[in-house]
Structure 1
Amino acid sequence: MAEVHSEQLLSEVAALPALPGVYRYFDAQGQLLYVGKARNLKKRVSSYFQKNHDGTRIGHMVSRIVRMETTVVRSEAEALLLENNLIKTLNPRFNILFRDDKSYPYLKITGTRETWRTAGPGAAPAILFPRMAYYRGVVDRRHSYYGPYPSAWAVKESITLLQKVFRLRTCEDTVFANRTRPCLLYQIKRCSGPCVDLIHVEDYARDVTAAERFLRGETQAVLDELQDRMMAHAEKLEFEQAAEIRNQMAALSRVLHQQAMDTASDRDVDILAVKVQGGKACVNLAMVRGGRHLGDRPYFPAHVDDATQIDEGMEAETESDRVADPAERLHIRVLEAFIAQHYLGAALPHTLVTSHPVGKGLIDALIEQSGARVHAVHQPREHRRAWLDMAQKNAEIALARLLAEEGSQQARTRALAEALGLPDDNLDELRIECFDISHTAGESTQASCVVFEGHKMQNSQYRRYNIDGITPGDDYAAMRQVLLRRYGKIAQALRAERGDELPAPRETGAADDAADAPGTEVVEPAGEAPKGPRMPDLVLIDGGKGQVSMAREVFVRLGLDLSLIVGVEKGEGRKVGLEELVFADGREKVYLGHDSAALMLVAQIRDEAHRFAITGMRAQRARVRTGGSKLEDIPGVGPKKRARLLQRFGGVRGVASASVEDLATVEGISAELADTIYRALH
Structure 2
Amino acid sequence: MIQDGPSIATGHEVIQAYLKTLDGSPGVYRMLNAASEVLYVGKARNLRNRVSNYSRITGHSARIQRMITETASMMFLTTRTETEALLLEQNLIKQLKPRYNVLLRDDKSFPYIVIPTDHPFPMIRKHRGKRSEKGHYFGPFASAGAVNRTLNQLQRVFLLRNCTDSMFSGRTRPCLQYQIKRCAGPCVDKISAGDYATLVADAKRFLEGKTTAVQANLAAEMASASDALEFERAAALRDRIKALTQVQSAQGINPRGVSEADVIALHLENGQACVQLFFIRANQSWGNRDFYPRIPAGAEESEILEAFITQFYDDKEPPPLLLLSHAVDNEDLVSQALAERAGRKVEVVVPQRGEKAELVENAARNARESLARKMSESATQNKLLAGLAEAFDLDAPPKRIEVYDNSHIQGTNAVGGMIVAGADGFLKSQYRKFNIKSAAGANSDDFGMMKEVLTRRFERLLKEDPERKSDAWPDLLLIDGGAGQVSAVAEIMAELGVEDIAMVGVAKGVDRDHGKEEFHRTGQRPFALRMNDPVLYFVQRLRDEAHRWAIGAHRAKRAKAVSATPLDDIPGVGAARKRALLAHFGSAKAVSRAAIPDLMAVGGISEPLAQKISDFFNAKN
Task: State the match for 1:178 in structure 2.
Answer: 170
Assess, with a 3 A threshold, how the Cα gap between structure 1 residues 529 and 631 changes in structure 2: closer, same or farther: farther
Classify the secondary structure of the residue corresponding to 1:272. Answer: strand
Task: State the match for 2:512 in structure 1.
Answer: 574
Which sits farther off after the overlay, 599-608 or 237-246?
A: 237-246
Which sits farther off after the overlay, 289-298 or 141-150?
A: 141-150
TM-fit CA distance, 1:67: 4.4
Task: State the match for 1:492 in structure 2.
Answer: none
Any residues of structure 2 matched to 1:421-570 within 5 Å, and which? 421-424=393-396, 427=397, 429=399, 432-448=401-417, 452=421, 456=425, 460=430, 462=432, 464=434, 466=436, 468-469=438-439, 472-476=443-447, 478-479=449-450, 481-482=451-452, 486=455, 516=456, 531-532=466-467, 537-551=475-489, 564-570=502-508
- Given candidates 537, 540, 543, the residue that maps to 1:600 is 537
Any residues of structure 2 matched to 1:243-258 within 5 Å, and which? 243-258=235-250
Task: State the match for 1:331 in structure 2.
Answer: 301
- Given candidates 286, 302, 305, the residue that maps to 2:296 is 305
TM-fit CA distance, 1:405: 2.1
Task: State the match for 2:9 in structure 1.
Answer: 4
Contact 2:31/2:74, CA 8 A, preserved across alignment: yes
Please give the alpha-carbon distance, in whole angstroms, between the structure 2 residues aligned to 1:208 and 1:230: 18
TM-fit CA distance, 1:4: 0.9
- Given candidates 379, 382, 393, the residue that maps to 2:365 is 393
- Given candidates 20, 23, 27, the residue that maps to 1:21 is 27
Contact 2:378/2:423, CA 8 A, preserved across alignment: no
Contact 2:14/2:71, CA 8 A, preserved across alignment: no
Look up the equivalent residue of 1:545 and give its one-letter code.
A
Classify the secondary structure of the residue corresponding to 2:40. Answer: strand
Please give the alpha-carbon distance, in whole angstroms, between the structure 1 residues aligned to 2:278 and 2:592: 48
TM-fit CA distance, 1:398: 1.9
Assess, with a 3 A threshold, how the Cα gap between structure 1 residues 476 and 190 changes in structure 2: closer, same or farther: closer
**Structure 1, residues 498-547: CA drift from partner, whole Å, max 9, x if none?**
xxxxxxxxxxxxxxxxxx379xxxxx879968633799654433222333
Task: State the match for 1:69 in structure 2.
Answer: 75
Classify the secondary structure of the residue corresponding to 1:175. Answer: helix
Please give the alpha-carbon distance, in whole angstroms, between the structure 1 residues aligned to 2:66 and 2:594: 65
Task: State the match for 1:166 in structure 2.
Answer: 158
Task: State the match for 2:93 in structure 1.
Answer: 87
Task: State the match for 1:407 in structure 2.
Answer: 379
TM-fit CA distance, 1:194: 1.8
CA RMSD of aligned residues (A): 4.1
Which sits farther off after the overlay, 377-386 or 191-200?
A: 377-386
Which sits farther off after the overlay, 180-189 or 434-443?
A: 434-443
Q: Structure 1 length normalisation: TM-score?
A: 0.76
Please give the alpha-carbon distance, in whole angstroms, between the structure 2 residues aligned to 1:250 and 1:477: 60
Please give the alpha-carbon distance, in whole angstroms, between the structure 2 residues aligned to 1:666 and 1:405: 56
Task: State the match for 1:347 in structure 2.
Answer: 317
Which sits farther off after the overlay, 639-648 or 244-253?
A: 639-648
Please give the alpha-carbon distance, in whole angstroms, between the structure 1 residues aligned to 2:394 and 2:536: 15
TM-fit CA distance, 1:78: 3.0
Which sits farther off after the overlay, 564-573 or 172-181?
A: 564-573
TM-fit CA distance, 1:626: 6.9
TM-fit CA distance, 1:260: 4.6
Please give the alpha-carbon distance, in whole angstroms, between the structure 2 residues aligned to 1:248 and 1:558: 64
Task: State the match for 2:259 in structure 1.
Answer: 267
Classify the secondary structure of the residue corresponding to 2:375. Answer: helix
Please give the alpha-carbon distance, in whole angstroms, between the structure 1 residues aligned to 2:360 and 2:64: 34
Task: State the match for 2:3 in structure 1.
Answer: none
**Structure 1, residues 578-604: CA drift from partner, whole Å, max 9, x if none?**
212223223x33222133233234334
Which sits farther off after the overlay, 577-586 or 634-643?
A: 634-643
Look up the equivalent residue of 2:539 and give its one-letter code.
V
Please give the alpha-carbon distance, in whole angstroms, between the structure 2 residues aligned to 1:52 and 1:559: 48
TM-fit CA distance, 1:42: 0.5
TM-fit CA distance, 1:198: 2.1
TM-fit CA distance, 1:152: 1.4
Assess, with a 3 A threshold, how the Cα gap between structure 1 residues 217 and 22 changes in structure 2: closer, same or farther: same
Structure 2 runs not aligned, ≥5 long: 1-5
Look up the equivalent residue of 2:121 and give its one-letter code.
F
- Given candidates 270, 274, 277, the residue that maps to 1:285 is 277
- Is residue 199 of structure 2 the alignment partner of residue 207 of structure 1? yes
TM-fit CA distance, 1:195: 1.9
Contact 2:106/2:291, CA 8 A, preserved across alignment: no
Classify the secondary structure of the residue corresponding to 2:126. Answer: strand
Look up the equivalent residue of 1:275 and give its one-letter code.
H
- Given candidates 189, 195, 205, the residue that maps to 2:181 is 189
Look up the equivalent residue of 2:378 and give its one-letter code.
E
Assess, with a 3 A threshold, how the Cα gap between structure 1 residues 14 and 448 changes in structure 2: closer, same or farther: same
Contact 1:556/1:562, CA 8 A, preserved across alignment: no
Task: State the match for 1:370 in structure 2.
Answer: 342
TM-fit CA distance, 1:37: 0.9
TM-fit CA distance, 1:623: 6.8
Please give the alpha-carbon distance, in whole angstroms, between the structure 1 residues aligned to 2:69 and 2:607: 61
Assess, with a 3 A threshold, how the Cα gap between structure 1 residues 349 and 554 changes in structure 2: closer, same or farther: closer
**Structure 1, residues 289-309: CA drift from partner, whole Å, max 9, x if none?**
11111221111112x025x55
Contact 2:169/2:586, CA 8 A, preserved across alignment: no
Please give the alpha-carbon distance, in whole angstroms, between the structure 2 residues aligned to 1:465 and 1:155: 31
Contact 1:413/1:455, CA 8 A, preserved across alignment: no
Please give the alpha-carbon distance, in whole angstroms, between the structure 1 residues aligned to 2:522 and 2:341: 60
TM-fit CA distance, 1:276: 1.4
**Structure 1, residues 176-208: CA drift from partner, whole Å, max 9, x if none?**
222222222222222222222222222222222
Contact 1:465/1:482, CA 8 A, preserved across alignment: no
Percent identity reads: 38
Contact 1:274/1:331, CA 8 A, preserved across alignment: yes
Contact 1:443/1:472, CA 8 A, preserved across alignment: no
TM-fit CA distance, 1:384: 3.2
Look up the equivalent residue of 2:9 and give its one-letter code.
V
Look up the equivalent residue of 1:73 and give its one-letter code.
T
- Is residue 26 of structure 2 the alignment partner of residue 34 of structure 1? no
Please give the alpha-carbon distance, in whole angstroms, between the structure 1 residues aligned to 2:567 and 2:245: 50
Task: State the match for 2:140 in structure 1.
Answer: 148
TM-fit CA distance, 1:19: 2.5
Classify the secondary structure of the residue corresponding to 1:61. Answer: helix
Look up the equivalent residue of 1:217 and give its one-letter code.
G
TM-fit CA distance, 1:237: 5.7
Task: State the match for 1:110 in structure 2.
Answer: 116
- Is residue 52 of structure 2 the alignment partner of residue 46 of structure 1? yes
